[in-house]
């Protein structure tokens, strides 16, 4: 499911869909869901697109060309086509309903429905095993979230002792919390496994959204609906590389930390927080694993270089960057970024091709692709000045510079 307009991520979604927003330097958000599919051995994937999908289509075509007619492997982007009338997708369930021909043509036993805009690692086969063992009609994956984070943002679940679903509220203002953890709610991750026959049945009934209508309507009847405890049941052992005294060491990442990370990056603040989670030594989310590889499309660029005393610390610096006398700290530099002499970049995310000219200073900001911060300019120091130059300021004070902007 990659068709959302992503209004809460504006201006990053002004010209691209939410799933196509860059993340972690060289990735797009959808790469994490697609990597989970490939690493789980699931290689028949439809990506349902709708709003501003050109960038996403190009990315999937260039970076995810696994299609093999002989083996039956594919990742296909499927645009909204008004198959059932004049309406575009009216919700998540309606998007699947309008593409039921894709399901019936494959004669599948189970259907895995995913969101293309979350950051996490998950072995979907482990969830499928649980789904089939319980003979479930539907299994919903869930994670514990602080109640203030879930309020108005996530679907909240209620379960009995056997983890059978007994209640579902979509984005409630006052989420019901867990009895054993009153500060936390059990939140839906937007990961569903339906028995194919059940999915075909429930989509004949009214309702355009899984969270608001379809899933609540399945509770309390004859259908078996269970919740998969992502934090307890999802197990991914992975490695990261550390260099100590010039010697490379392979360290096993504590799986209960790394593999239980999940983030909905649907707002500027949550996107920024997830980006900052990638930095430092002991990160809650590991990009550097060798077993659970994260894949993407990469342009052929030269290595990054640091000249004229340029330096970067506690940062991610992608290929093609030039740090020419500038200083970068606790930041993410996407491919092709230039930071010139005397410039300072602090706790910022810079997209492809951004140029920070001499003496410019940037902090707590997200700068979209191909923007230029001219010599001596300041970003992140004066909110009113930033707004007057066309920037967006998030609730937590993160400055977002739109794509192709020149800041003087």
Number of domains in the chain: 2
* % of the chain with per-residue pLDDT over 70: 93
Q: Is residue 262 part of a domain?
A: no
In a domain? residue 55? yes
According to the 3-state scheme, what is the secondary structure of 1-15?
A: CCCCCCHHHCCCCCC
Structural domain contains residue 144: no
Residues 37 and 84 sit within 8 Å (Cβ to Cβ): no
Which three-class secondary structure state does DSSP give residue 325? coil
Please indicate, yes or no, whether residues 272 and 319 belong to a single structural domain of this protein.
Answer: no
Please check whether residue 54 lies inside any domain of the structure.
yes
Are 278 and 326 in a shared domain?
Answer: no
Last residue of some domain: 255, 278, 298?
Answer: 298
pLDDT at 249: 62
- Shared domain check, 93 and 8: yes
> What's the confidence (pLDDT) of residue 292?
87
User: Mean pLDDT over residues 379-407, rounded?
Assistant: 97
Domain final residue pick, 276, 298, 320? 298
What per-residue confidence (pLDDT) applies to 51? 84
- Model-level pTM? 0.91
Q: What is the pLDDT of residues 134-171, one digit of tens each?
A: 999 999 999 999 999 899 889 999 999 999 999 999 88
CATH number of the structural domain spanning residue 390: 2.160.10.10
In a domain, 52, yes or no: yes
Residue 71, classified by CB atoms within 10 Å of its CB into exposed (0-12), middle (13-18) or buried (19+), is exposed
Q: Which segments within 71-113 are labelled E, that is strand?
A: 74-79, 110-113
Q: Which of 151, 149, 127 is nearest to 227 (CA)?
A: 127
Q: What pLDDT, in 10s, does the model give residues 218-241?
A: 998 889 999 999 988 887 766 665
Q: Does residue 186 belong to any structural domain of this protein? A: no
Segment (H or E) for 28: strand 27-28
pLDDT of residue 69 exceeding 70: no
CATH of the domain at 34: 3.90.550.10
- Angle, alpha carbons 191-258-297 (nearest 5°): 70
In this structure, are 402 and 312 located in the same domain? yes
| 28: containing domain | 1-107+267-298
Is residue 146 one of the residues assigned to a domain?
Answer: no
Q: Token pair of 83, please?
A: 């198959």
**Are the beta carbons of 154 and 101 closer than 8 angstroms?**
no
The answer to whether residues 37 and 94 belong to one domain is yes
245 within a domain of the structure (yes/no): no
3-class DSSP state of 106: helix
Higher pLDDT, 401 or 291: 401
Q: In this structure, are 16 and 95 located in the same domain? A: yes
Residue 119 has pLDDT above 80, yes or no: yes
Give the C-alpha separation, 370 to 169, whole Å. Answer: 41
More confident: 2 or 177? 177
């Amino acid at each position: 499911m990659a068709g959302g307009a992503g209004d809460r991520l504006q201006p990053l979604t002004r010209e691209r869909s939410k799933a196509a927003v860059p993340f972690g330097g060289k990735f797009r958000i959808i790469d994490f869901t697609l990597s989970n599919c490939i690493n789980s051995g699931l290689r028949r994937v439809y990506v349902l697109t709708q709003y501003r999908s050109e960038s996403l289509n190009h990315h999937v075509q260039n970076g995810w060309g696994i299609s093999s007619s002989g083996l039956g492997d594919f990742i296909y982007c499927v645009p909204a086509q008004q198959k059932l009338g004049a309406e575009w997708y009216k919700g998540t369930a309606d998007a699947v309903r309008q593409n039921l021909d894709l399901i019936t043509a494959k004669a599948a036993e189970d259907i895995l429905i995913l969101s293309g805009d979350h950051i996490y690692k998950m072995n979907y086969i482990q969830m499928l095993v649980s789904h089939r063992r319980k003979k479930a009609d539907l299994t919903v994956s869930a994670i514990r979230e602080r109640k203030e984070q879930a309020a108005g943002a996530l679907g909240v679940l209620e379960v009995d002792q056997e983890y059978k679903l007994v209640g579902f509220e979509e984005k409630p203002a006052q989420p019901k919390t867990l009895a054993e953890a009153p500060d936390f709610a059990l939140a839906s991750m937007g990961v569903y496994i339906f028995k194919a026959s059940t999915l075909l049945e429930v989509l004949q009934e009214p309702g355009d959204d899984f969270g608001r209508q379809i899933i609540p309507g399945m509770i309390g009847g004859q259908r078996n609906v269970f919740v998969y405890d992502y934090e307890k049941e999802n197990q991914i052992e992975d490695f990261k590389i550390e260099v100590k005294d010039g010697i490379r060491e392979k360290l096993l990442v504590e799986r209960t930390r790394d593999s239980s990370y999940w983030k909905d990056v649907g707002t500027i603040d949550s996107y920024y927080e997830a980006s900052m989670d990638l930095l430092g030594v002991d990160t809650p989310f590991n990009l550097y694993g060798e077993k659970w590889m994260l894949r993407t499309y990469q342009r052929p660029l030269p290595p990054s270089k640091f000249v004229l005393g340029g330096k970067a610390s506690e940062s991610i610096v992608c290929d093609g960057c030039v740090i020419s006398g500038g200083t970068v700290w606790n930041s993410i530099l996407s491919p092709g970024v230039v930071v010139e002499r005397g410039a300072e970049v602090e706790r910022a995310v810079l997209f492809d091709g951004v140029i920070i000219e001499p003496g410019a200073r940037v902090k707590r900001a997200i700068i979209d692709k191909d923007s230029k911060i001219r010599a001596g300019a300041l970003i992140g120091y004066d909110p009113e000045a930033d707004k007057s130059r066309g920037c967006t300021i998030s609730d937590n004070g993160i400055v977002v510079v739109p794509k192709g902007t020149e800041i003087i």
